[in-house]
Amino acid sequence: MLKDIDRLIDRAEENGFLERSENHDVADEQKFRIKKIIKARVDGEILEDFKQQLTAHAAKRIQHG
């Protein structure tokens, strides 16, 4: 069961949802920082492009009623 949990944690880390923390209070302890999903998968450039596409689409709809 622990191997399954470790495998899931590794996959979440590979996909950018978790980040290992180096601060350990206990020797065998592992700490992780959970990233916000949208920030982990989408960067600012993609969001800006999406915003521009939405603005253009909205402008077209307003023009065509």
Specify whether the CB–CB gap between 35 and 17 falls below 8 A. Answer: yes
**Scanning the structure block, which residue is given the tokens 């601060």?**
23
Residue whose pair of structure tokens reads 């191997």 in the numeric block: 3
Tens of each residue's pLDDT in the chain, 65 residues: 778 888 888 998 888 888 888 876 776 777 888 887 766 677 788 888 888 898 888 888 777 76
CB 18 within 8 Å of CB 32 = yes
Number of neighbours of residue 22 by Cβ within 10 angstroms? 5
pTM, rounded to two decimals = 0.48
Closest CA to 13 of 43, 40, 44, 42: 40
